[in-house]
Amino acid sequence: MNVLELSHVYKGFARTEGEEVTQALDDINFSVHDGEFLSIVGPSGCGKSTIMRLIAGLIFPTAGTITLNGEIIKGTDTERGMVFQKPTLFPWLTVEKNLNFTARMQGRRHDAEYKAEAERLLELAGLSEFRNDYPHQLSGGMAQRLALIRTMINHPKVFLLDEPLGALDAFTRMNMQDEILSLWQRSNHIVLMVTHDIDEAIYLGTRIIVMAPRPGRIREDLKNDLPYPRVRTSDEFLGLRKKVLELLNFGQSKNTKEAQKQLERSNKP
C-alpha cells in the first residue's frame, strides 16, 4: 500500500525584484493512499501546481515534509510521474521515441518488458499508426494522450496530472476524462489531478480538495462516494457541484446576498 503524505508544507517564492517573498502555500496537510483519486480545485494563484511540482520533486518545500511511504522526497523519480498542462513532448523525437524516452533515460531501451508495454500503450492510445510522426503533426488530444502514456509506461506509484486537459476542447476533454478514469481503475495507484473545472473534479475524484488563494491553503477536503461511472446530470452530482461552488464563493448564496445588497442600496432614497 503506497501512502503519500504532506505535513505542514509551506512554500515561499522570492519575487523577481526586491526582497519580498510570496507565500504560495500555507500549512498544507493531507495524505493519500493507493486507490484514491484526488482532485484539487481552486482559483488561479492558489498554489495547485506548486503542490504538484513539490510532490514531483521539481521544487522543494520551505518548511514541512512530503513523504512517499515514509521516505522524504529528495528529487524527481520515475515512481512519481507527472503530466503537464502543455504536452511537453520533445519536438525533435518521433511519437515512438518520445514514448521510449524514459526507458532510454534509465538505460533500459532494449528491455523487452518496456518494448511490449510501449506497444500496448500505443495501441491503447490509438497512436500506433502515427508512431513515426513528429509531435507537431499530432492533434491536441493525440499529443496529450501521448504525454499520458509516456508517463504511464513507468507505472508510477503516484500519478500527477497538472491540468492535463486544460488546453483541450470540450469533447476531447470529456473523452480523455473517461480514458484517465479507466487507466486509474486498472492500475489503482494514487492519482492527483489539478483542475479548474469543477465538473471534471467531481466526475473523476474520490476526494476533492478545494483550495483558497493567497496564500494557498486547503479550504475543504471533500469525500466523493458517487459510484462510477458518474452521471454529470444526477442530483447527487449537482449537489456536490453546488457545494464546491459555494466553497469557492461562486455559490447561489453569495449571488443572492450581492443582489439583495444592491437592491437595498438602490432602494435607499
Partner 1 sequence: MRKESTGIDVLSHLTRERLAELESRPKTPVRIFLDYSICFMPVVFGLAALAEYLFVPNLKGNTSTSTYTYFLAVLISVSAIYFVLSFFSKKVFYVLRYKAPFYAFIFVLLMLYDYLTLKTGKLVLPYFTWTDEILNAIWDDRAYLLDCTVNSLKLLFTGYLSGAVLGLITGVLCGCFKSVDYWISPFMKLVGAIPSPTWIPIVMVIASTLFSGAVFIIALGVWYSLTIATMTGIRNIDRSYYDAAKTLGANPLRLVLNIAVPFAVPNILQGLTQGMSSACLVLITAEMVGVESGLGWYVSWQKSWAQYGKMYAAIVVLCIVFIAVNWGLNALKRRLLRWQEGITE
Contacts to partner 1 by CB under 8 A = 53, 56-58, 76-78, 80-82, 84, 86, 88, 90-94, 101-102, 104-106, 134-137, 150-151, 154
CB of 52 to partner 1, least distance (A): 10
How far is the first Cα of the chain from the last one, in angstroms, to the nearest whole number?
67
Instruction: Please state, as a whole number, how many other Cβ atoms lie within 10 Å of the Cβ of residue 62.
Output: 14
**Residues with Cβ within 8 Å of residue 128, at least 6 apart in sequence:** 122
Task: Supply φ then ψ for residue 202, to 5 degrees.
Answer: -75, -35
Provide, rounded to whole angstroms, the least separation between the CB of residue 78 and partner 1.
4
Residue 230 CB, shortest distance to partner 1, in Å, is: 29
Q: Residue 78 or 206: which CB sits closer to partner 1?
A: 78
CA distance 191 to 150: 16
Nearer to partner 1, 50 or 102 (CB): 102
Name residues whose C-beta falls within 8 Å of residue 209's C-beta, 6 or more positions apart in sequence: 30, 38, 39, 40, 41, 218, 220, 221, 222
CB-nearer residue toward partner 1: 39 or 151:
151
Q: For residues 178, 179, 183 and 186, what is the CA-based torsion angle, rounded to 10 degrees?
A: 60
Please report how close the Cβ of residue 187 comes to partner 1 at its closest, in angstroms: 17
CB of 132: closest distance to partner 1 in angstroms? Answer: 11
Whichever of 55 and 183 has its CB closer to partner 1, that residue is 55
190 vs 212 by CB, closer to partner 1: 190
